[in-house]
């Protein structure tokens, strides 16, 4: 009985029902296509082919994305403290643990390129790619005893060497790295 009344209503009001369906569909797509970027982040828009729009959207801004074709990715631009730990081999063939702590930040205008190169967590990916090489190269030049128990002058020299390499790599990858807040410590495994 109810279905018959609904069917009669729909057949008598085809134009109104069609307008209702189209209006709800367009309104729903419009509502779901608005994305807000969180504070302290900038946004990039990626489509399903992995291509990035060449725009950087600032925080607290609304971005229009086609919901089934594009997605908005927030990328943090506030300085973040990153820790990186790696086992490295010394000149005498022993293993030591290298611990690095630094503050890293993205340069806003280069966020699309950073996202394509390193992904959303650019800090971790950058440290895994660049810091690992710098720590391995620094450890190859010294023995285990020099790295762990060496004099303070030698420890400072090793830290300055790694800091310089890391800050050069960060500058070439369009990142801001704070060398004065970067600490490197070698400890027993």
Which two structure tokens, joined as six digits, stand for 166?
């890391």
Q: What integer pLDDT is reported at residue 55 of this predicted model?
A: 86
Enumerate residues 6+ apart whose C-beta is below 8 A from 135.
86, 88, 98, 100, 162, 184
Q: Name the one residue in this structure whose structure tokens are 């992904």.
A: 119
Fold of 80-188: Tetrahydropterin Synthase; Chain A (3.30.479)
pLDDT tens, residue order, the chain (189 aa): 788 888 888 888 888 889 999 999 999 888 888 888 988 899 999 999 989 988 889 887 888 888 888 999 999 888 889 999 999 998 888 899 999 999 999 998 889 999 888 888 888 999 999 888 989 988 898 888 888 888 889 888 988 998 999 999 999 888 998 888 889 888 888
Output the pLDDT for position 6.
83
Determine the Cα–Cα distance for residues 137 and 131; give it in Å rounded to an integer. 10
Contact between 73 and 46 (Cβ < 8 Å): yes
Task: List pLDDT tens digits, range 84-126.
Answer: 999 999 888 889 999 999 999 999 888 999 988 888 888 899 9
Domain boundaries, the chain: 2-76, 80-188
Q: How many CA atoms lie within 13 A of 18 on its CB side?
A: 5
How far apart, in Å, are the Cα atoms of 183 and each of 114, 115, 156, 163? 24, 26, 10, 8
Give the pLDDT confidence score for residue 104 in this predicted structure: 92
**Closest by Cα among 155, 146, 144 to 189:** 144
pLDDT at 146: 87
Residues 6+ apart with CB under 8 A from 44: 52, 53, 55, 56, 57, 72, 73, 75, 111, 112, 115
> In which residue are the tokens 């830290």 written?
159
Closest CA to 70 of 109, 108, 32, 118: 32
State residue 103's pLDDT score: 93
């Amino acid at each position: 009985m109810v279905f018959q009344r609904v069917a009669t209503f729909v057949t008598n009001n085809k134009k109104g029902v069609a307008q209702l369906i189209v209006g709800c569909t367009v309104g729903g797509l419009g509502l779901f296509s608005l994305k807000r970027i969180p504070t302290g982040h900038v946004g990039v828009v990626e489509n399903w082919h992995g291509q990035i729009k060449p725009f950087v959207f600032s925080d607290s801004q609304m971005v229009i994305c086609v919901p089934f074709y594009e997605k908005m990715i927030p990328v943090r631009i506030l300085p973040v403290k990153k820790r990186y730990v790696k086992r490295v081999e010394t000149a005498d063939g022993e293993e030591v643990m290298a611990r690095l702590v630094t503050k890293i930040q993205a340069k806003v205008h280069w966020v699309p390129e950073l996202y394509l190169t390193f992904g959303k967590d650019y800090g971790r990916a950058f440290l895994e790619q660049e810091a690992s090489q710098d720590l391995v190269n620094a450890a190859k030049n010294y023995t285990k005893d020099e790295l762990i128990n060496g004099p303070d002058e030698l420890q400072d020299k090793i830290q300055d060497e790694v800091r310089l390499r890391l800050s050069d790599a960060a500058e070439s990858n369009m990142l801001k790295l704070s060398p004065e807040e970067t600490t490197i410590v070698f400890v027993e495994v």
